[in-house]
Structure 1
Amino acid sequence: MATIDSVCVYCGASKGADPRFVAEARAFGLDLAHNGIRLIYGGGGIGLMGEVASAVALNGGHVTGIIPEFLISRERAFAHKAELIVTQDMHERKRLMFERADAFVALPGGVGTLEELVEQLTWAQLGQHAKPILVLNTAGFWDPFLRLLDHMRDSAFIRDAAPVNLLVANEASEILPMLRRAVAPLSETTLHTPGDAEAVARM
């Protein structure tokens, strides 16, 4: 049975308007540290990125930040103890984040967070990986996106023939148990044949 040794977290470079966003980001970081799971993230020291990474690092956990050179001054590379990888561009950053992660979790964030989440859903649908993908739906943040997926399904743009399972947790404490239940070796997972790039579904 495969294990979760590292988790890639996508989230905002701002803290958002609801204080629950920060509280849940910190709680998830603490869970990662206490469970010995490495955080893979975008390398920033601000916003929810900084909150989750700080919670991991300050509680004895392991952090790998991957940041393109042009964003170091804008997002302030993480200041606590961490492995920091500086890339030439966004494409290299995303490739390394994918390669080093056993699962993907999207916290609240902006269009960059959304883009990274949808990319992983698409890659999974195309059979490029079977790593679990989860959104932390703090204060219902992801509800509009989940409704959009339902609308796409109702409109026959998302079909059951090639689904991608999107896990949804309402609280940080639910994330690791859900990921552990979902993870499985590629050899035991039925991957979908690439050919329907629009087929993205949620459980």
Structure 2
Amino acid sequence: MQSIVVYCASSLGTNPIYNEVAIELGQKMAARNIRLIYGGGGFGLMGNVANAVLQGSGEVTGVIPNFLADLEVAHTTLTEIHFVETMHERKFKMVQLAKGVITLPGGYGTLDELFEILAWRQLKLYDGPVVVININGFYDLMLQQLDRMVADGFLKAENRKLLLVASSVDEALRLLSDFWESL
């Protein structure tokens, strides 16, 4: 794995475990020489993943729309930053640069990114693995909803399997690695 997109919140959330796992992910990516590709913000989980990679002498590429650069306050010490015009451009550029996606907890923006990349996987517009780290059961209800969509005939079982689920950083990194080794 040369690079991974990480989707996550621009806030810290209320449970410190989310931030701990974000920092752990950044540290382990740096230790394995995996470049972080992310939304380019300097705060919240996304800022802390980036800071952990940078503190471990890793490389970080941010992709942020011009209009969000001020709102989210673009991170200023990244290895590389791309300024784009739209959110769609941002999402497209991020996955163009990466060989896989890991999703940590977040809000609407995180879910938007996650479900768009899953739709792209389903349509064969993106061929990399997509993993959620289900920290503290954060994604339990979403995963139940996906199973309900399969049961009710709105999502094919093979497409449900496009979303890989990990309970730890190590498991997420292993799932990404195993995906590429199995091809």
When the two structures are superposed, what TM-score results if normalisation uses the length of structure 2? 0.95
Q: Aligned residue for 2:63?
A: 66
Cα deviations across residues 98-129 of structure 1 (Å, max 9, x unaligned)? 11010011100001100110111111111222
Larger CA deviation: 97-106 vs 71-80:
71-80
Larger CA deviation: 159-168 vs 14-23:
159-168
Q: Answer yes or no: is 1:80 the counterpart of 2:77.
A: yes
CA RMSD in angstroms, aligned pairs only: 1.4
Superposition map of 1:182-201 within 5 A: 182-183=179-180, 188=183
Q: Aligned residue for 1:42?
A: 39
Larger CA deviation: 31-40 vs 160-169:
160-169
Q: Aligned residue for 1:143?
A: 140
Question: Structure 1 residues 171, 83: closer, same or farther in 2, change over 3 A?
Answer: same
Q: Aligned residue for 1:176?
A: 173
Larger CA deviation: 87-96 vs 63-72:
87-96
Aligned to 1:79, the other structure's residue is in SS state coil
Q: Aligned residue for 1:28?
A: 25
Quick one: percent identity of the two aligned structures?
42
What letter corresponds to residue 98 of structure 1 in structure 2?
V
Q: Distance in 2 between matches of 1:19 and 1:151?
A: 30
Question: Structure 1 residues 162, 170: closer, same or farther in 2, change over 3 A?
Answer: closer
Q: Answer yes or no: is 1:5 the counterpart of 2:2.
A: yes
Q: Aligned residue for 1:158?
A: 155
Q: Aligned residue for 1:114?
A: 111
Q: Answer yes or no: is 1:131 the counterpart of 2:163.
A: no
What letter corresponds to residue 27 of structure 1 in structure 2?
E
What letter corresponds to residue 18 of structure 1 in structure 2?
N
1:66 and 1:93 in contact (8 A); partners too: yes
The structure richer in helix per residue is 2
What letter corresponds to residue 20 of structure 1 in structure 2?
I
For residue 173 of structure 1, report the CA deviation from its aligned partner.
2.1
When the two structures are superposed, what TM-score results if normalisation uses the length of structure 1? 0.86
Q: Distance in 2 between matches of 1:180 and 1:100?
A: 17
Structure with the greater alpha carbon radius of gyration: 1
Cα deviations across residues 169-200 of structure 1 (Å, max 9, x unaligned)? 11112221111001258xx5xxxxxxxxxxxx
What letter corresponds to residue 97 of structure 1 in structure 2?
M
User: What runs of 5+ residues in structure 1 fail to find an aligned partner?
Assistant: 189-203
Q: Distance in 1 between matches of 2:72 and 2:135?
A: 23
2:65 and 2:87 in contact (8 A); partners too: yes
Cα deviations across residues 133-181 of structure 1 (Å, max 9, x unaligned)? 0001111101111010011111111123655421111111222111100
How many pairs does the alignment contain? Answer: 183
Cα deviations across residues 11-53 of structure 1 (Å, max 9, x unaligned)? 0011001100000000000010000000000000011000100
Q: Aligned residue for 1:194?
A: none
